[in-house]
Amino acid sequence: MELRKETGMLQILDIEGNFRKELEPDIPEELLLRMYRTMATVRKFEEISMGLQRQGRIGFYIGAAGQEACSVGSTAVLGRDDWIFPAYREPGALLLRGETVLQLFHQLFGNSLDYNKGRQMPNHFNSRKVNVVTPSSPIATQIPHAVGMAMAARIMKRKDVALTFFGDGATSENDFHSGMNFAGVFKAPVIFLCQNNGYAISLPTRRQTAAETLVQKAVAYGIPGERVDGNDILAVYSASARAVERARSGGGPTMIEAITYRLGPHSSSDDPTKYRDKEEVEEWKRKDPIRRMALYLRRKGLMDERSEKKIGDEIDSEIRAAAKKAEGTPRPPVESIFENVYSEMTWNLREEMEETVQRYGAGYTGK
């Protein structure tokens, strides 16, 4: 199928679960169910994590409610060796690739089993074992990193591709433009997926660009673009599959603009009622990507009310057990602070460390 014009928007699955059969992607039943379960897990994970933050048990949280189809639908088309460079609303990418809810909670609590040894702020989820690189809070920095990885794969004559996620606000940053320009010139095998949720924190999209769409920005860099309904997981999957095939076959990069919406606050530090009205939020709730996929699965005969509830109950139990286990895991000991920093610790730091351990004990955690 030919790509739509940049100003159009691909939609396969509507808000009632009806779908266009001629555009429906061929997704194995097992994968469809796993995609749904992952989306539902992300939603429940956010609900519980935001509650933990409000109780002062974790320091910070950034949610993905309403945007789950973007990360799950695009990640589902990748191969095992492909790389993901996330922003901070993509826990679904890690979970779909096999990372555990427990490990995500280890990261939120910054405990001794956290891959980052407690050194990252919450929501900087990453996993070397599933090729998801550590995100960074500064906007758009992951974009040139993804391009660099994609170019490295090509130089090494590998077929790996890179997928990078960013929001609408990132398209106003220098890293977006430099990354897109380099990828366009050198045909880097990278997929740029912009989750346009309408706001860069509180700044509406119309206040940061006069362009009719964000995907039009790809035209200037000679990059094909496609605009999709980001709450339609079938549309996200289809566009991403085309982009991955183009990248892997040597055709270069693609930009996808996924039109979606953040149902909750930008973060646990944000009050969205200050810049958007209740009617807008309610309208987007009707377009909920999880509800749409559930209706689709029912129409396909893959799920019914009973199995949907069973999945929800299983997810709830798994997440609550993982949160409890992670919260009860000790913090990283003080002697771990210089691990992976120096190949050999400097003499003055070694003396300072030995003095600290002698004074407080080897298990000192800073309490």
Write down the catalytic residue from 97, 227, 242, 262. 262
User: In this structure, how many other beta carbons lie within 10 angstroms of the beta carbon of residue 251?
Assistant: 14
User: In this structure, how many other beta carbons lie within 10 angstroms of the beta carbon of residue 273?
Assistant: 10
What does the block give as tokens for 243? 């982009």
Q: Name residue 96's amino acid.
A: L
User: In this structure, how many other beta carbons lie within 10 angstroms of the beta carbon of residue 94?
Assistant: 27
Instruction: Please report which residue ranges of the chain form alpha helices under DSSP H.
Output: 29-54, 68-75, 91-96, 101-109, 142-155, 174-186, 233-248, 278-285, 289-299, 305-327, 347-360
Write down the catalytic residue from 57, 158, 207, 275. 275
- Do 333 and 356 meet the contact criterion of CB atoms below 8 Å apart? no
CA 230 to centroid of chain Cα atoms: 13
Torsion of CA 165, 166, 171, 172, to 10 degrees: -150
Question: Is 266 annotated in the active site?
Answer: yes
3-state secondary structure of 119: coil
Question: Is 275 annotated in the active site?
Answer: yes
Write down the catalytic residue from 89, 266, 292, 331. 266
Among the listed residues 136, 47, 41, the one whose alpha carbon sits nearest the alpha carbon of residue 93: 41
Question: Is 177 annotated in the active site?
Answer: no
Q: Which class for 108: exposed (0-12), middle (13-18), buried (19 or more C-beta within 10 A)?
A: buried
Q: Active-site positions?
A: 262, 266, 275
